[in-house]
Chains A and B, each alone.
Chain A
Amino acid sequence: MAGHDDALREFIIARRGPLLRSAFLLCGDVHEAEDLVQSTLVKVVLAGRRLDRIDNIEAYTRRTLMSVFISSRRRLWRREHPHAAPPDTQAAPGGDPELGLAVRAALTRVPARQRAVLVLRYWEDLSVEETAHILGVSPGTVKSQSARGLAALRTALGDALPGAPLAATNAEEARL
């Protein structure tokens, strides 16, 4: 049992940072991201014995994070204010903090389920099938939610979005 707890502790230490980044992209707030990850990891520890039978603890953890996040949006939908909180992240050297802030604000306007798909597909770099397995939906649903999420993100970004990639995307759309 102690060995199992040690393994879980190591997993928490190794995965907490990446999970926090994903959670931050989901909710847009550092403190709420900490809460989401804390709740997620508590569930993972509680499922410890069952996890012996789960091949992929990583997938289980991602799935739990998404579940905790979606549940929190259902409960706290009134509290989601895209511009209410001041930015509480540091500017990365060479980055574009202004655009980063705009993207974070725009992300909070994307529906929660679509946001979850965007984070899994484009931040965690999972395939359509992997995303579908984690969210318990069909690959077709992932594709449609991903396209809708991206469209909502582009709409929310508006003028903040640079011209070149948008133009390429529009050209791609026009071709289809």
Chain B
Amino acid sequence: MNGTDRFDTDDDFDGSDPQDVLAKQLLKLAAEGFVPPGDTGADDIMARAGAIRRRRRYAMAASSIAAVLAIGFGAGLLPKLNQAAPQGNSQPQSTTAAAPAPHATGSPAPLVEPGGGEVSASTGPTASPADGPDEERTTQPGGAGISKQTKSSGTPTRSSPPATASTPPAAKDPVAFIAALLPSDTGTLRRQTPAKTPTNPLNGRYFVTKDGKTGYLDVAVVDIAVNRDDWHSTVDDERAHNYCESTGTTPPNTDCTTETLSSGAVFKTWTLPGDQQSGGAAGSAAGFAASLTFANGNQVVLYAVNGLTGPDAPGPAMSKPPLTKSALNDLAKSPAWFRK
């Protein structure tokens, strides 16, 4: 067998991209000869899971008892402490309460325009060439119902909570949720229905239509409150990753920046050159991207792209991305992406 005929026999790969064919064949070769152990191990796995469940129940019961005891003890002790405290010493507790929220990024500016008006996806029945049954579309009329956040003129206090809420509307209506975060003149927003359930309810592609042109936003959020068991990047991973590194196959991204925010989060931005269109598939036009990664594993990655090109594109692409670089950066820094 020579080097060539190792790779030219499989019918499965006919018509595929040569790189894909090569990759598939290499992995097939690597897996050849691997024989899984005969024992299914199902009983072991069920037994281990059962043991872990029991330990968790025991730990939960123990912590509940400890909490009840602590409350009882605290209730008895507090009156005594209050009596013992010096006069006029009521402020220090609120000082700790006013500490920055864990996701504070140094850019807590609201992303909804205070001026109200027609906000992003709120333009109602505007004709949209790509409207179809496979897309969700926002139903918010004229921006009504979109909550506004206003900057407190004084020192931030607990009375001006971040956009996160204990029951965020993201899962119920991701389109309206994201529309509320966009500048007022962004355009009509609709979501491409994901092929499979996304790992985070906000994740997916959101087409933005304005003046008959269609661009899109790609949203990828890892929220450890939602995606506890999922793979997530660390700040070190993200800091080390070079988004402008040449792949050798497509034009590299440009304008890469890395910033470590005061919270310790790593903020990266870069400019997308656009994909090479191949076959009938739609390729992406140029755009901007931003990623924000927190030490606790939370991460948001956003793309704002002119649109799609090629025969399968949903409509003519915009001349520039639906968000400016600055607006995209602000959007990425919004605390609204994550639950508490």
Given contacts A24-B31, A30-B34, contact A172 B194 (CB under 8 A): no
- How far is the CB of B252 from the nearest CB of chain A, in Å? 9
Among residues of B, the one whose C-beta sits closest to the C-beta of A18 is: B36
Given contacts A9-B46, A92-B33, contact A130 B196 (CB under 8 A): yes
Would you mind naming 12 contact pairs between A and B with Cβ atoms under 8 Å apart? Answer: A5-B46, A16-B41, A47-B229, A67-B231, A67-B232, A103-B29, A138-B219, A140-B272, A150-B249, A157-B26, A163-B4, A176-B250
Docked complex Cα distance between A165 and B33 (Å): 23
Contact of B196 among A133, A150, A176 (CB under 8 A): A133
* Per-residue contact bits, chain B 26-62, to A (CB 8 Å; 1 contact, 0 not): 1111111111110011101110110011000000000
Docked complex Cα distance between A176 and B246 (Å): 13
Residues on A with C-beta less than 8 A from B40 are: 12-13, 16
Given contacts A96-B29, A138-B303, contact A150 B23 (CB under 8 A): yes
* Per-residue contact bits, chain A 102-131, to B (CB 8 Å; 1 contact, 0 not): 011001000001001011011101010110
Task: Check B20–A122 contact: CB distance below 8 A.
Answer: yes
Given contacts A20-B36, A164-B7, A173-B248, contact A41 B275 (CB under 8 A): no
- How far is the CB of B17 from the nearest CB of chain A, in Å? 8
Residues 208-246 (chain B) with a chain A CB within 8 angstroms: 218-222, 227, 229-232, 234, 237, 243, 245
Residue tally, chain A, CB below 8 Å to B: 83
Among residues of A, the one whose C-beta sits closest to the C-beta of B289 is: A140
Docked complex Cα distance between A172 and B48 (Å): 50
Task: Check A147–B249 contact: CB distance below 8 A.
Answer: yes
- Which residue, of A24, A113, A123, has the highest number of chain B Cβ atoms within 10 A? A123
Task: Check B248–A147 contact: CB distance below 8 A.
Answer: yes
Task: Check A141–B220 contact: CB distance below 8 A.
Answer: yes
Residues on A with C-beta less than 8 A from B201 are: none
The yes or no answer to B3 lying at the interface (CB within 8 A) is yes
Task: Check A67–B33 contact: CB distance below 8 A.
Answer: no
- How far is the CB of B258 from the nearest CB of chain A, in Å? 16
Among residues of A, the one whose C-beta sits closest to the C-beta of B53 is: A46
Docked complex Cα distance between A123 and B31 (Å): 9
| Closest 9 pairs (CB-CB, A-B) | A162-B3, A45-B49, A147-B247, A89-B33, A67-B231, A92-B32, A122-B23, A103-B30, A95-B32
A-B residue pair count with CB separations less than 8 angstroms: 213
Contact of B220 among A5, A34, A138 (CB under 8 A): A138
Given contacts A12-B41, A90-B33, contact A42 B48 (CB under 8 A): yes
Among residues of B, the one whose C-beta sits closest to the C-beta of A22 is: B31
Given contacts A138-B303, A164-B4, contact A121 B23 (CB under 8 A): yes
* Per-residue contact bits, chain A 124-158, to B (CB 8 Å; 1 contact, 0 not): 01010110111111111101100110110100010
Among residues of B, the one whose C-beta sits closest to the C-beta of A119 is: B27
Residues 268-318 (chain B) with a chain A CB within 8 angstroms: 272, 275-276, 284, 289, 301, 303
Query: Mostly helix, strand, loop or mixed at chain A's interface?
Result: helix
- Which residue, of A48, A97, A147, A157, has the highest number of chain B Cβ atoms within 10 A? A147
- How far is the CB of B126 from the nearest CB of chain A, in Å? 27
Task: Check B30–A107 contact: CB distance below 8 A.
Answer: yes
Given A169-B22, A172-B17, 6 more A-B residue pairs with CB atoms under 8 Å apart are: A16-B40, A24-B31, A25-B27, A163-B3, A165-B7, A176-B249
Task: Check A176–B276 contact: CB distance below 8 A.
Answer: yes
- How far is the CB of A44 from the nearest CB of chain B, in Å? 9
Given contacts A95-B33, A100-B33, A147-B250, contact A165 B229 (CB under 8 A): no
- How far is the CB of A88 from the nearest CB of chain B, in Å? 9
Task: Check A141–B36 contact: CB distance below 8 A.
Answer: no
Task: Check A8–B18 contact: CB distance below 8 A.
Answer: no
- How far is the CB of B116 from the nearest CB of chain A, in Å? 31
- How far is the CB of A166 from the nearest CB of chain B, in Å? 8
Among residues of A, the one whose C-beta sits closest to the C-beta of B200 is: A136
Task: Check A100–B18 contact: CB distance below 8 A.
Answer: no
Among residues of A, the one whose C-beta sits closest to the C-beta of B281 is: A128
Task: Check B4–A151 contact: CB distance below 8 A.
Answer: no
Task: Check B31–A45 contact: CB distance below 8 A.
Answer: no
Residues on B with C-beta less than 8 A from A48 are: 49
The yes or no answer to A36 lying at the interface (CB within 8 A) is no
